[in-house]
Copies of this chain bind each other. A is one copy, B any other.
């Protein structure tokens, strides 16, 4: 990949969840906790309970270097879906291994955030948490190809 600059990031929290292995579907029934990392105080979560949803930026830490696609592939390896660029899909084997998922906030309890609908396994390092503001959602109509709807059919 790029020979450019390297930036360091550190986990701000970790996912504690019931699911220990990455599988592709039925994530909504999996409850999860997000626990702040050492050195971060409950204060950092103040006011998050006034929002219904949180965007969780995390690292797909189980993905090995060899699994990272730099060009294009069939989503989930399915030849009946088109071969598309890694930046036109959301699969985990991607440069920098970053995930971004909007989860529902159940409650904030000290340094722990309880959520549902987070597609990350137990132990996942969290790099950032952002409140979902309606003003940051897509403006205008949303278009997407047919495969993108099909791939999400059983996801949650």
Contact = CB atoms under 8 A, between A and B. Distances in A.
Interface of A: 1-12, 28, 37-41, 43-48, 50-55, 57, 59, 70-72, 82-90, 94-96, 98, 100-102, 104, 117, 125, 127-145, 148-149, 151-152, 155-156
Count of this chain's copies in the oligomeric assembly: 2
Given A51-B148, A148-B131, A2 B40 contact: yes
> Closest 3 A-B residue pairs measured CB to CB?
A135-B152, A47-B84, A2-B37
Contact of A152 (B98, B136, B144): B136
A140 B7 CA distance: 36
B70 A40 contact: yes
A37 B12 CA distance: 27
